[in-house]
Amino acid sequence: MEDISDVLNKKEASDRASQLSVTVSKILEPEIDLGTLLCFDSNDFDTKQLRSDQEAYLTDETRNNVQLIINQLFELPMKNEDGYMYVDLPEPRYNLPREKPLPAPKALTKWQKFAIEKGIKKTPKPKSTWDDILQKWIPTYGYKKAAAEKDKDWILEVPGNAADPNVDLFAQKREAKKERVAKNEYQRLRNIAATRKIKVPSVGLPPLEGTLHSNQLKTAVDVAKISTASVGKFQPKLSKEVVSVKKNIPGLKKEKLPAKSMKEEKTTSLQIIDSINNKKPKFNLEKAANKAIHAEEVQRFREKKEGGDKKKGGGRSRSKGSFKRPTANTGKRLGKQKGGRKRR
């Protein structure tokens, strides 16, 4: 009969065998980058185990490398905050390849900066509010709110300190609202310009119509330079003057191609002849079909004309001054007809 201690020892030994060890031994120590949680294992594969059971072997190797990363993570100083344990990862040593640079943080608007400085947090707005005057729920925005405002403010009290009591307060209220909307839109556009780093004039005036672009000014300078008797050949150069491109200056002759040798000129000429000979004539299907239809119509018209001339020649000819017989029971006589060939 087995002792209880022997049974417990066997159970503990079996549990220890079933659990994988946290200590991993390798011939070459893998290179571990905790900043990016990467492990570079430069050890060779066991080809015998890889061929016998590839899936199990790769799973075991992956588990060992992950265990090495976890072992080094537990060596870092741990911090406790609100009952949660965490560690600060060191700076990464390996730079991950990227196609494009990291996106720059979006610039904050004036209101966002002001809210951060004052500690203002955004709270969700209710979709409807209770109005004590109308005694009903009014939507926060929409056409129903505008209709409720009209019902609520159907009459406005003239203030006692008003300069002109006959001023239309409803029109004044509408104008004030338009100004607020325009101001908000202007501020929104300024925020967009600041985000995209677009220069906006401090004064709200557009540039004058007579102002020229820098490229136009350069062209004007070039034209003025060559507007001399020597076409700008003896024109003195200014200090820090930018040399203009010759193709942008009107009136100058084009530069001639450099002289070629006989062999190069012969090769160029042969290439031009080959390109001309290799060009196939373009076949216009629509034009060819129209041409064939036209030829058929002309042939049909000629055949019809020849058949009509034969019929005319077989009848009895009449003299130019002959009369037609009067038709019966009409009491009318036809006058003398003009002679000659009938026209179609």
Q: Give tens-digit pLDDT for 17-70.
A: 556 677 888 888 889 999 889 999 989 888 888 899 999 999 989 999 999 999
Number of domain units in the chain: 2
Residues 119 and 68 in one domain: no
Residue 314 is predicted with a pLDDT of 53
* Amino acid making up residue 267: T
Residue type, 292: A
Question: Of the given ranges (208-212, 290-294, 299-303), which has the lowest mean pLDDT?
Answer: 208-212
| Domain assignment of residue 172, yes or no | yes
CA dist., res. 34 & res. 185, Å (int):
49
Answer yes or no: is pLDDT of 311 > 50.
yes
Question: Does residue 16 register a pLDDT over 80?
Answer: no
pLDDT-derived band of residue 1, with 50, 70 and 90 as boundaries?
very low
In a domain, 142, yes or no: yes
Is 44 inside a domain boundary? yes
Distances from the Cα of 58 to the Cα of 45, 49, 55, 64, 326, angstroms: 9, 10, 5, 10, 122
- Is 337 a domain residue? no
Tokens matching residue 289: 């079909």
The verdict on residue 224 lying in a domain is no
Alpha-carbon dihedral angle through residues 226, 229, 230, 232, given to the nearest 10 degrees: -20
Give the three-class secondary structure for 172. Answer: helix
Q: Are residues 117 and 184 in the same domain?
A: yes
**Same domain for 135 and 183?**
yes
Between 167-171, 257-261, 315-319, the lowest mean confidence (pLDDT) is in 315-319
Residue predicted with more confidence, 278 or 132: 132
The predicted-structure confidence for 139-170, as pLDDT tens digits, reads as follows 998 899 888 988 888 888 888 887 788 888 88
Q: Do residues 72 and 34 lie in contact, with contact meaning Cβ atoms separated by under 8 Å? A: yes
User: Does the residue 127 lie in any domain?
Assistant: yes
Return the minimum-mean-pLDDT range out of 43-57, 93-107, 233-247, 296-310: 233-247
End-to-end CA distance of the chain: 138
In a domain, 258, yes or no: no
**Do 20 and 76 touch, CB atoms closer than 8 A?**
no
The pLDDT of residue 96 is above 90: no
Mean pLDDT over 208-223 rounds to: 73
Tell whether 79 and 15 lie within a shared domain.
yes
Are 120 and 190 members of one domain? Answer: yes
**Residue 9 or residue 85, greater confidence:** 85
Place of tokens 């560690």: 87
Domain containing residue 42: 4-87
By C-alpha distance, which of 75, 74, 78, 95 is closest to 87?
78
Report the range of poorest mean pLDDT among 33-37, 103-107, 172-176. Answer: 103-107
pLDDT average, residue stretch 304-314 = 66
Whether residue 79 contacts residue 85, with contact meaning beta carbons closer than 8 Å, is answered with yes
In 133-205, which ranges are continuous DSSP H helix?
143-152, 169-195
The pLDDT assigned to 117 comes to 94
Closest by CA position to 233, among listed 248, 214, 253, 213: 253
Residue 180 lies in a domain: yes
Residue 130 shares a structural domain with residue 178: yes
